[in-house]
A and B are shown apart, each in its own frame.
Chain A
């Protein structure tokens, strides 16, 4: 069992200035997940009649992309290739001090405490992250176009992005290039995505810029902190797509 000191960002709402508040916590089992540790804290706060710490979470198995904690200066905490909900307390030791903050980016304003507004990501997808095909049930047979396994697998790897925003939170420029390039790459690697390739990349990049995300300076922090291991290759691929589209468009 561990005793810890938590230093947690508390901010009442978007207009509040916010500050770090200290919370000592004891009897934490190494088998608990990080979010279960926060559950314990919140139950204690509620029993004392205080406001629990607001944080985003849902599936608690690393796939919905809802959880978004900046733990000890790293998106999703000290381990790699996992989300905060998959982080377990065995990654910490008795007596540790743990800083917990929200994602910090102009395009992700804080809603409350550790919760941020990521609807900017949705708006980027709305600008072009789709293939325009109606759900008529009359599309051609799924096996009509064979797709090279290597490209299908790469498209899948890009498509496993969970949209959590760790890439933005980890980037010194708050760039969303890894997120946007994952979607652009998924479709660029598939024959179905070719028809709208030009508009897609131009529109998505424009929306990304309009939302206030920063520029990419190829530092690669995003790839390191991405819980799904989305590769920087996707950014290179998007840059090529963008260049080609700019000449055409």
Chain B
């Protein structure tokens, strides 16, 4: 018998959430004052959860490693947030958003969770507008929408290329209101280093004050992790430098199952790597694929000429270009989902058609959009629609209005003007669909320990659609967790404050201090980054966009060896009683070195291709991902001391409302 109970409510799909909300226990307002909740991470999920729980009356303690909750990496999300509002009248509905998300996730997500997500999506937009989030509007004053990959409707709400920033500042403002009222106690520049389990329940955390180095004990009746994804295991990614897996990994080591670690999103449109000094990669929003066309030259001789600088891409004739997404996927064209677009770019570059010096770049071209918009504007303004100069000027203005900040970012990094010459892009690690296993209530298998947002595994299956991360983060934090956590906390109204002088807190603190001592006193010779970069190379080369049995077996071996070398030879300068970024990084990399191995192990076990997980051995004749019915389950791993000893549990996925078919975007 499996240990995993997903606790999906009975009844028809569309009624499950409403019925569940009616059935679960509530905590009365006076009793909420007696209950403490710890929230780790203050991005869209953690921030919105902290604000809402405090508003309900719980005593919230919120923690972030940044100097302010406003700087969580949700801030960097660019393109938008999905909601089934159907403001465009183009046939959108809750069911369609649900369907697109399950299909987009390659039939590897839980139906009931995804339906609930689609259902609450519309509340999010109402809520954010009420909070003063300045979404883009049309001239009539109503909200504007655009399209994202893998869908045939316009349901994405946006604020230029800074949607994540505006939504996060909305959640941050909601938090500030509660901090001002004393209902949230905010701990910035604090890092969670362990979760404390008392009598089988999560009852607190051990945190390190990153300024003073002090190790602190914090207790609560429940602990919520909204700590994001683990893409920085790859070293180079679009994540922030500080993004890490430590909180989730410590929870895993205390018993929480880690689900589907191999499901990683490699985003197709990022600025290519320019050299060994590179510290991070920068995303160019998927929204650009509304107007940008992706291509490489048709002929190798033109590729050569472009690489050696004798041919400019703008001079290459239309018939000598291969718009390979439009060619392979006529129905969705440039707006195929991310996993499909990334693999197609890799296929062209592997075949020798990459357009930069490293051979790892394709073009994202706005020339046709500039011309199309320019003609429209010239017509509206009564100007000559044949005048090339007028059209180009007007077209550029429209494109600037839509994507100005992204074009500016590109120009600053690459030193080329994307209004004049096509952007060069290549896939990069961007998001992790895997994460802590949670049930329908967003609780891990450890009672009282919750995981929300990117930190859990629940809604995106094997591939996330664009503009759905913001939706999930805010859905979990504003509209799901505040209900479901009450059901659990209803049993705690008479418990009273959780003491921090128990043996469990002593043990956890000793463990944390021991780990820190080991790192700081290690007489090694190599920096933390040295090991992180090597881990990243193994991950990218052997667990990246395409995987196979041989590579994965090698990766498992190499990561295990690298971990041994890390503990033998890492050098961490300074002391533990001060601001010490190297020490913080060392702890995070130590955890990535364990997670990385489990990641490869999970990828090896999954003998199929699904979404972001592509196994060379399992593909169709045309090179598309080949799913296998016998792998229609969630893999949830139980910690047993070493990643190699992790025990595999399965949650079988049932599809009662959607027919599981071949996922086609042709």
Contact = CB atoms under 8 A, between A and B. Distances in A.
Interface string A113-131: 0010111011001110111
Contact of A115 (B51, B525, B579): B579
A208 interface: no
B574 interface: yes
A46 interface: yes
Interface string A181-199: 0000011001011000000
B127 A137 contact: yes
A56 interface: yes
A82 B139 CA distance: 30
A56 B65 CA distance: 12
A163 interface: yes
A102 interface: no
Interface string B159-189: 1101001100100111011011000001010
A193 B137 contact: no
B23 interface: no
Contacts of B129: 139, 142, 145, 192
B279 A36 contact: yes
Interface in A25-50: 29, 31-33, 35-36, 39-40, 43, 45-47, 49-50
Interface residues of B, number: 81
A6 to B, nearest CB: 16
B187 to A, nearest CB: 11
Contacts of B211: 111
Interface string A87-117: 0101000000000000000000001100101
A65 B71 contact: yes
Interface string B250-293: 00000000000000000000000011011110110000000000
Nearest to A118: B67
Contact of A135 (B51, B73, B278, B578): B51
Nearest to B123: A137
Given A64-B75, A88-B413, A135-B52, A142 B143 contact: yes
Contacts of A149: 137-139, 141
B236 to A, nearest CB: 11
B573 interface: yes
Nearest to B186: A122
B66 interface: yes
Interface in B124-178: 125-132, 134-143, 159-160, 162, 165-166, 169, 172-174, 176-177
B274 A135 contact: no
B177 A118 contact: no
B85 interface: yes
Nearest to B527: A46
B249 interface: no
Given A31-B275, A33-B279, A159-B134, A62 B409 contact: yes
B189 to A, nearest CB: 8
Interface in B183-242: 186, 188, 211, 238, 240-242
Contacts of A186: 132, 134
Nearest to B85: A142
A183 to B, nearest CB: 9
Contacts of B85: 142-143
B529 interface: yes
A61 interface: yes
B282 A61 contact: yes
A135 B174 contact: yes
A191 to B, nearest CB: 9
B87 interface: yes
Nearest to A132: B177
A126 B578 contact: no
Contact of A56 (B67, B162, B408): B67
Interface in B14-58: 48, 51-52, 55
B380 to A, nearest CB: 16
Interface string A159-173: 110110000000000
Contacts of B125: 142
B10 interface: no
A2 interface: no
B453 to A, nearest CB: 15
A237 interface: no
Contact of A192 (B76, B131, B242): B131
B76 A61 contact: yes
Contacts of B134: 152-153, 155-156, 159, 186, 190
B469 interface: no
A33 B279 CA distance: 9
A135 B573 CA distance: 45
Contacts of A137: 120, 123, 126-127, 478-479
A29 B240 CA distance: 23
A214 interface: no
B657 interface: no
B346 to A, nearest CB: 23
Contacts of A174: none
Contact of A112 (B241, B525, B578): B578
A90 B274 CA distance: 14
B498 to A, nearest CB: 26
Contacts of B578: 12-13, 112
Contact of A163 (B52, B68, B127): B68
Interface in A52-71: 52, 54, 56-66
Contacts of B180: 126-127
Given A60-B279, A62-B409, A126 B52 contact: no
B71 A133 contact: no
Contacts of B131: 130-131, 133, 192
A36 B277 contact: yes
B574 A51 contact: yes
A115 B188 CA distance: 14
Given A58-B240, A63-B165, A143 B142 contact: yes
A64 B76 contact: yes
Contacts of A57: 241
B166 A156 contact: yes
B571 interface: yes
A66 B578 CA distance: 20
A71 B271 CA distance: 26
Interface in B90-143: 120, 123, 125-132, 134-143
A193 B132 CA distance: 7
Given A58-B240, A122-B68, A137-B479, A130 B177 contact: yes
Contacts of B186: 122
Contacts of B140: 146
A74 B574 CA distance: 30
A191 B279 CA distance: 43
| 6 A-B pairs closest in CB distance | A146-B141, A130-B173, A156-B134, A137-B123, A139-B130, A142-B129
Given A36-B278, A58-B242, A135-B51, 10 more contacts: A46-B573, A58-B66, A58-B241, A60-B241, A64-B76, A112-B579, A122-B70, A126-B177, A133-B131, A146-B141
6 contacts: A62-B412, A119-B67, A131-B132, A137-B120, A143-B87, A153-B137
Interface of B: 48, 51-52, 55, 66-71, 73, 75-76, 85, 87, 120, 123, 125-132, 134-143, 159-160, 162, 165-166, 169, 172-174, 176-177, 179-180, 186, 188, 211, 238, 240-242, 274-275, 277-280, 282-283, 408-409, 412-413, 415, 478-479, 482, 525, 527, 529, 571, 573-574, 578-579, 581-582
